[in-house]
Each structure stands twice: as C-alpha cells, then as structure tokens.
Amino acid sequence: MSNLYLVFTSLLLNLSVGSCDREAQVALVDLSTLQEGTAVATFGGGCFWCTEAVFERMIGVKDVVSGYTGGKKENPTYRQVSYGETEHAEAVQIYYDPEVVSYEELLEVFFATHYPTQKNGQGPDIGYQYRSAVFYHDDQQKELAAAYMKKIAPNYKKPIVTELNPFTKFYLAESYHQNYYELNPGNPYIISVAKPKVKKFKKLFPDKVKAKYN
C-alpha cells in the first residue's frame, strides 16, 4: 500500500468524521408502531451514508434510516461510535414492502454492494464499528441470511466474515446523518466512496432501481 494512498485515506476519514463532529440527540426506534404491510431489515455494511443511499434507490423499499446497533451502550453518539468507544456498528434500518421485494433480494443487494470478506472495516473505514453484520429480527431472517452466505461463499477468495446477530435495539443517528448522500453530493467521502457503491448497485441490479433514480 503506497504512502499516498494512506494519506488520502486518512484525509477522507478526517473529513467524514470532522464534518459530523458535533453532538446531537439520538433516539431509540420503537418497532411496535410499525405499520401493517411493512417489514424491517437491519444491516451493517460500513459507513451508513453509503448503505442508506444504495437501499433508498431500491424498488419496494419504503424508507431507510441510519443509526447504531449491536452494542450495549444506551443513546450512543456519532462521535462515540465512530471513535470505537462503543460496541455499536453503524447500520441502516430498512422498511420495505414484502409484497414487492423479498428479504432474500435485500440480502443479495447488501452483499453485492459492500465487502463481506473485510473484517472490522469497509474500504477506508477501519474499526469494529464498521463491521459487516446482519441483525436478524426473527428465525426466518436468520435462516435466510445464513443460507445466503453459504450460497455465495464459493464466489469469494477469502472467507465471509459477516456477523449474524439477533436484533436488539436500534438508535436513530443524529438528524444530519439522515439522507446524507443526497444532501451532501460534494463531500469528498461521498464522491470517492459512496458514489461508486451506488453506481455498482445500479449496474448490477438495473431492474431493481426506482424510476426516479434512473
């Protein structure tokens, strides 16, 4: 790895963390109020700015929010999570119509648009908070995720290290993180890291892209 790449990576990390280095209120998501006909999936695929942008563009997805899950600390802040001070992962919660898109399809897109063989990190984002993880909401999701990972494992040269954990709590990230990709198109991190993932999604799954994003 060249020194230039290391410097560039460090710059991206400083820009992404520094641009959000302020405290704000987080909120615990209450799934008991979930509307009928809406299902939920929770994935950790590195920086939530990227993962949120990908799934916002997927047909059948009603909404995507960024937040923190997988740790025990209550009401974690972005600063605490991004500096590895909690066991939480940056993650997204996906609200979707199961009559339009299946959980298996969500898994397919998730694994195709991040690096499931990279342990405790995604690209330039390094740390347990950026781990690859599926947080299942019931036994069916657990079985489907396990079966899918087994199915695609031969496609990779390295072992899949995606964690398969039960969902516990999801804390909605600070408001300035929501819809970050759309609101900050000029951010260097968005340009160099997030946009390539969105382009990959659109290239691999043209039939799954919402019309307004074509």
3-state SS class at 68: strand
Active site residue 20: no
- Amino acid at the residue 144: L
Whether the full predicted model's pTM is greater than 0.85, yes or no, is yes
3-state SS class at 42: strand
Query: Helix and strand tally (H, E) in the chain?
Result: 8, 9
Q: Is 75 left (phi over 0), alpha (psi -120 to 50) or beta?
A: left
**Which candidate in 40, 41, 47, 134 is catalytic?**
47
Q: What is the pLDDT along the chain (214 residues), one digit of tens a residue?
A: 333 323 333 334 444 444 444 455 788 998 988 888 999 999 999 999 999 999 999 999 999 999 999 999 999 999 999 999 999 999 999 999 999 999 999 999 999 999 999 999 999 999 999 999 999 999 999 999 999 999 999 999 999 999 999 999 999 999 999 999 999 999 999 999 999 999 999 999 999 999 999 8
- Using alpha carbons, list the distances in angstroms from residue 41 to 89, 103, 109, 145, 213: 15, 8, 12, 11, 22
Distance CA 30, CA 46 (A): 23
Q: Which CATH class is domain 3-204?
A: alpha beta
Domain extent listing, the chain: 3-204
